[in-house]
Amino acid sequence: MSAELLSRLAAILGPSGLLADEADMVSYAIDWRRLFPGRPLCVARPASTAEVSEVVKACRAAGAAIVPQGGNTGLAGGAVPDASGAQVVLSLNRMNKVRAIDPVGLTISADAGCILKVAQDAAAEAGRLLPISLAAEGSATVGGVVSTNAGGVNVVRYGMARALVLGLEVVLADGTVVDMARQLRKDNAGYDLKQLFIGTEGTLGIVTGAVLRLVPRPRHTVTALLSVPSPQAALDLLALAQDELGDTLSAFELMSGYSFDLLKRHLNLTPPIASGDWFVLLEAGASLSGLREAAEAALAAALENGTALDGVIAETGAQATQLWALREHITDGEAREGKSMKHDVSVPIVDVPAFLEAADIAIAEGAPGAKVNAFGHLGDGNIHYNVVLAPGQDGAAINTLVHDVVARFAGSISAEHGIGQYRVDELLIRRAPAEIALARTLKRALDPDDFLNPGKVLPAGG
């Protein structure tokens, strides 16, 4: 059966469109953190939506499940196959073009496999901004960002990926192409069906193209790093920034002193300000003048009332890049420190200080010797409460400790990374049975044979 499928796929895709040698499939078989090794039957690389549809029909006829894959930069193992050797990875990486840009209508259309950075650069060339920014943007794809409803550092102003999607083109589990790639700002005609495919990680359909919202590119940007005495002070600073900078505020990131210890120890990166227990990196952008003056006044007020202990506003673009490098290298510093359990949690923004306090107590009591590397998107209530394990410590038990605290604040166990295969079991425990039942109803309606990305988000077999 599989030889027959391989020859059918070769006929559809041509020689460059199908990989079946193990050596060629290595990078498609495992996630970049190397936590979820799999073994695909083959990697199908269609060059068009019509080819995606043909591949889906052929795999379906052969009973081989499909695992859609974009840039393979996810953190939850959502885009890699299982170890059965029976699943087909459907990589979108040959469908990599920007289709069109409308600088006045403020839209960009792109193939699913278009690298996010390529789409950002195309928007910049047209004098516009594609306002989604994340560490993996040089490899992540438009389709992956949409399918995982990715977050990043600009959510505080522009929302998650979902908020940017105007239109989608998808291929369903039976190979039907549904073209909803409309550029409309307003479209209230019936169910908003594209929402079914945003953040559902390829389990209900395969995103093959997207129309995303652009925004005017702010002429002026202010980037500032501040040290603050506590998470509560950081929250006070957020309120101050909301008052003084209004909706120009586009990033508000919190980082712990321990995150900065890791940067110093492993990467020799140090902040250009006096150290504190916590740090905030904020950015604002506007086209009208006066932004820098407003930011300077806000910083002065924060220093004056003790909300901030020290702070700097970047003088040049290069300095802003250096400040961002501190934030962007935390994950790297953490990886060099040792094995860690990542948590991508959210709680109501005002509860972040109380959450951090309660979680620290839970870890100190339940997992003595573990070190907490807390950082993340305070402006969204999303903290990466990562725990570096002491030798011999049980990661699963630490997950439970942290997520029990999240539950006390009615938070989420996945704010932006998704469920993938990593958090399937946890999702079943943490979400109400009525929500899980509704999710299963949708899955059964769109993919009754559990053929699209089985075992991701929901357990295999429904």
Query: According to the binding rule CB under 6 A, does residue 335 interact with ligand MLT?
Result: no
Nearer to ligand MLT, 137 or 236 (CB): 137
Nearest approach in angstroms of CB 175 to ligand MLT is 34
For ligand MLT, the closer of residues 135 and 215 by Cβ is 135
Neighbours of 54 (CB within 10 A): 20
Q: How far is the CB of 406 from ligand MLT (least distance, A)?
A: 15
Parallel, antiparallel, or unpaired: how do β-strands 66-69 and 88-91 relate? parallel
Q: Which residues contact 244 (CB under 8 A, 6 or more apart)?
A: 294, 295, 297, 298, 301
> Which residue sits closest to ligand MLT, CB atoms considered?
331
Output 334 or 450, the one with its CB closest to ligand MLT: 334
Q: Give buried/exposed letters for 95-106 (b at 16+ CB in 10 A, else e).
A: bbebeebeeeeb
Which residue is it, tokens 């990886």? 335
Per CB under 6 A, 269 contacts ligand MLT: no
3-class SS at 168?
strand
Q: Please pick, from the candidates 331, 399, 412, 414, the single residue that binds ligand MLT as defined by CB under 6 A.
A: 331
Q: How far are the Cα atoms of 24, 77, 196, 231, 274 from residue 258, in angstroms, in the given order?
A: 40, 27, 39, 13, 14
Write down the least CB distance from residue 234 to ligand MLT, Å. Answer: 16
Our CB check for ligand MLT shows the closer of 167 and 381 to be: 381
Per the DSSP assignment, residues forming a β-bridge with 44 are: 18, 90
User: 157 or 384, CB closer to ligand MLT?
Assistant: 384
User: Shortest distance, CB of residue 342 to ligand MLT, whole angstroms?
Assistant: 5
Report, in Å, the least distance between residue 337 CB and ligand MLT: 13
Using the minimum distance from each CB to ligand MLT, give the nearer residue, 65 or 326.
Answer: 326
3-state DSSP call for residue 251? strand
371 binds ligand MLT (CB under 6 A): no
The DSSP line for 36-102 is S----SEEE--SSHHHHHHHHHHHHHHT--EEEESS---SSSTTS--TTS-PEEEE-TT---EEEEE
Instruction: Give the interface size with ligand MLT as a residue count (CB under 6 A).
Output: 5
One residue of 135, 269, 301, 303 binding ligand MLT per CB under 6 A: 135
384 contacts ligand MLT (rule: CB under 6 A): yes
CB 417 to ligand MLT: min, Å? 6
Of the candidate residues 342, 403, 430, 456, the single one contacting ligand MLT (CB under 6 A): 342
Gap between the Cα atoms of 444 and 461, Å rounded: 10
DSSP state of 397: H
258 with 279: CB under 8 angstroms? no
Residues 159-188 that bind ligand MLT (CB under 6 A): none
Q: Does 267 bind ligand MLT (CB under 6 A)?
A: no
Question: Looking at beta carbons only, is 371 or 384 nearer to ligand MLT?
Answer: 384
Q: How far is CA 101 from the centre of its chain?
A: 24
Pick 93 or 331: Cβ nearer ligand MLT: 331
Q: List interacting residues with ligand MLT (CB under 6 A).
A: 135, 331, 342, 376, 384
